[in-house]
Amino acid sequence: MKNQKSTLKTISFLAFIVFLWTFSINITLAGVPGQPSVITGNTTVCQGSSEAYSVINEPGVTYNWTYSGSGFSISSGQGTNSIQASFSSSATSGTLTVTPSNTSGTGSSRSQMIDVITVPSQPSVITGNSTVCQGSTETFSVIDVSDTDYDWTYSGSGFSITSGQGTHSISASFSSSATAGTLTVTPSNTCGSGSSQTMLIDITELPDQPSLISGNMLPCVGTSETYSVTDVTGVDYNWTYSGQGFSITSGQGTHSIVASFSSSATPGTLTVTPSNTCGDGQARVDTILVINETAPDMPSLIIGNFEPCIGASETYFVYSEPNVIYDWTFPPNWTQTGGGNTHSVTVTVGSDSGNISVIPSNHCGIGAARDSVVSPVVCTGIWSQDLPQSVFIYPNPVIDKLNILLDEPESYIISISIFDVSGRKVLEIFSKDNHETKLDLSNLDSGIYHISIVANNYEYSAKFIKK
């Protein structure tokens, strides 16, 4: 019985020891808080933002929040499992740490890396053509920055983005009516928009149609002519001609050319096409009607009295040619009284000897001059002839038959021409190896006529009267 009591005491003592050991373990396990749960909240934040972070709450636990970066402040919740924190405009990335504690001590911390980002910086200088053509497609770009979007805008008209909007590089079209403007690219990310980058765009248009072509549109063969349009800065001009026998001697590529028309040149169209760096503009076309004529030849021999009486009225003329005008000059104190620039003129004879000169001209130019020497004389009669003593024209005045005799050795008549006072040729005959001839003038009206006799060794002229 005694041993049985002793055994019971021993068992009771051992049970008490076990209880104390178990109690001690429970006290130790309930003392220090465990590591907090994973921190919830944004791990990438913007400067200037406010963020919430939290862990699972454990009763009786205090939570201390710290941050290794700069510009971080806890606005509420410090000591609890949930905080509201602010990141200043200069905040930097760092590690957010929450450390648990209770009356038994401090537990293991929980950390989370926080990446602080800012609005994107101003993009790099825009690359691409700053001078573009209407109707062209161009590429513009800036240096790409990761996690950044790019918004492209244009202040002018006729601009459209065909691809790349939102990225660092775009392809853009400028319409045929596009205007100059400013190209702007604005960067943005989750934090907002950064400063924009700009580029001024100058629009180059296709050149306008040139002005009307100035120059002679009725040129003559064998001539050189100048053609031009109004010059426009930055524009080249290409000249072409559809006809034959045309060549540009100078000025191709400019607004003014010098062109030659050969003796076989034909009519055609002269075209000038403007161009610049953007291409060709609308051409200007004009028709050139080449005239198959040249400057007039030297006039025929001057017909008239070359030893006229001082103070007398005389008529001088050359054979008339179509579309030719004649410029007459006489010795200094002679006076032209009629005829103007025609082939036949009248003058009052002065006392000075000298040259009578007549210069022909037409649309194609000026021909060679014809000169004749005149020597005025003092006359006592009313009329004298420009004939040597060896040439006879009789009778004078004449009724119907006019005799012509060259009383000079080895002289013979080649041709005889008779002109009325207007210079119109009314009769012409040809003779050969004959020093005498007789003309039938019965069909001529009464009046004063000029006769021109071409002999083998001289030309004679005189006046006669037809009754």
DSSP 194: -
- Residue ending a domain, among 257, 288, 319, is 288
Looking at residue 438, its pLDDT comes to 87
Q: Which of 211, 206, 205 is nearest to 284 (CA)?
A: 211
* Rounded Cα distance, 277 and 219, in Å: 34
**pTM of the prediction?**
0.51
Mean pLDDT of the chain: 88
Confirm whether 345 is domain-assigned. no
Alpha helices in 309-422 (DSSP H): none
- Are 160 and 183 in a shared domain? yes
What is the rounded distance in angstroms from the CA atom of residue 209 to the CA atom of residue 279?
13
267 and 239 together in one domain: yes
Do residue 96 and residue 163 come from a single domain?
Answer: no
The pLDDT value given to residue 82: 97
State the residue range of the domain holding 280.
224-288
| Last residue in a domain, options 288, 312, 340 | 288
- Half-sphere exposure of residue 175, counting CA atoms within 13 Å on the CB side? 9
Same domain? 192 vs 228? no
- Cβ burial of 408 (10 Å; 0-12, 13-18, 19+) is middle
- Same domain for 460 and 424: yes
Exposure string (b/e) for 267-280, b if CB count within 10 Å is 16 or more? Answer: bbebebbbbbebee
**Joined tokens for residue 207:** 């050149």
Q: What whole-number distance in Å separates Cα of residue 40 and Cα of residue 114?
A: 12
Q: Are strands 131-133 and 197-204 parallel, antiparallel or unpaired?
A: parallel
Tallying the residues shown for the chain, one arrives at: 467
Residue 210 counted as domain residue: no
Domain count, the chain: 4
Binning the chain into helix, strand and coil, the percentages to the nearest 5 are 5, 50, 45
For residue 410, how many other CB atoms are within 10 A of its CB? Answer: 8
- Looking at the domain assignment, is residue 432 inside a domain? yes
Residue 374 and residue 353 in contact, taking contact as beta carbons nearer than 8 Å: yes
CA distances from 182 to 148, 200, 201, 239 (A): 22, 5, 6, 37
Q: Sheet with 224-228: list strands edge to edge.
A: 224-228, 256-261, 246-250
CB 424 within 8 A of CB 353: no
Q: Residue 456's domain is classified under what CATH number? A: 2.60.40.3080
- Is residue 327 a part of any domain in this protein? no
Is 252 inside any structural domain? yes
Helix (H) or strand (E) holding 10: helix 2-29
In this structure, the answer to whether residues 98 and 135 fall within a common structural domain is no
Do 108 and 150 lie in a common domain?
no
User: Which residue, chain included where needed, has tokens 């928009």?
Assistant: 193
Residue 163 lies in a domain: yes
Residue owning tokens 């109707």: 135
Instruction: Please tell me the number of Cα atoms within 13 Å of 125 on its side-chain side.
Output: 5
pLDDT tens-digit map of 118-145 = 999 999 999 999 999 999 999 999 999 9
Cβ contact 289:217 at 8 Å: yes
pLDDT digits (tens, 9 = 90+) for 404-430: 887 666 777 878 889 888 778 898 888
Are 177 and 234 in the same domain? no
User: Which DSSP state fits 378?
Assistant: -
Cβ-proximal residues to 45 (8 Å cutoff; 6+ apart), any chain: 51, 87, 91, 114, 115, 116, 117
CATH number where 92 lies:
2.60.40.10
Residue 243 lies in a domain: yes
Measured in whole angstroms, the distance separating CA 37 from the mean position of its chain's CA atoms is: 75
138 shares a domain with 111? no
Which of 288, 315, 334 terminates a domain? The answer is 288
Cα–Cα distance between 329 and 310 in angstroms, integer?
Answer: 17
Q: Are residues 249 and 190 part of one domain?
A: no
> For 84, which DSSP code?
E
Verify that 71 and 107 share a domain, yes or no.
Answer: yes
Q: How far is the C-alpha of 329 from the C-alpha of 352, rounded, in Å?
A: 13
Coil/strand/helix, residue 399: coil
pLDDT for 239: 98
Q: Report the distance separating Cα 438 and Cα 174, nearest Å.
A: 92
Is 77 in a helix, a strand, or coil? coil
In a domain, 55, yes or no: yes
User: Which segments in the chain show pLDDT lower than 50?
Assistant: 1-2, 4, 7-8, 10-11, 14-15, 18-29, 380-385
User: What does each C-alpha distance from 321 to 214, 267, 461 come to in angstroms?
Assistant: 30, 24, 20
**In a shared domain, residues 64 and 104:** yes
